[in-house]
Amino acid sequence: MCGQVKHKNKSDIIHYYHTGSPITYLIVDPQGKLSKFKLGFDVTQGHTPQLLVQGGCWKTAILEEGEFGLLGESVAPGFEYTDMEMAKPDFFRASFPNLWDELSPYIKQ
């Protein structure tokens, strides 16, 4: 299982699935609600080809099987590295204690 470090962006981002293995997204909204989505083309398996992640939500992308998955992103009003916040273990554990066990593998210690 391969996962990206958990982070959030200031702006809304649309993630587009292009090819490869499906990619699972875990999204945590500011109130602490966890949602799961699988980006891919097989809608009969619950996949979605694109996903809007609203600004202010924490997210991680996980390649659970296969060698690669290719995504594209569109950001509005625009992407700036200063608008992205990486999850810090102590903050995340204190803010979302009920999600820590599930999400800690994706937060850089």
Percentage with pLDDT > 90 across the chain:
66
Mean pLDDT of the chain: 89
Mean pLDDT of 82-94: 86
DSSP state of 22: -
- In this prediction the pTM is 0.87
Task: Give the integer Cα–Cα distance in Å for 25 and 18.
Answer: 15
16-40: pLDDT as tens digits? 999 999 999 999 999 999 999 999 9
N residues, the chain: 109
Residue 5 vs residue 52, higher pLDDT = 52
Mean pLDDT of 61-83: 88
43-67: pLDDT as tens digits? 999 999 999 999 889 999 999 999 9
3-state SS, 45-82, equals HCCECEEEECCCCEEEEEECCCCCEEEEEEEECCCCHH
Map out the domains of the chain with their CATH numbers: 2-106 (2.60.120.10)
At residue 108, does pLDDT exceed 90?
Answer: no
Mean pLDDT of 12-18: 95
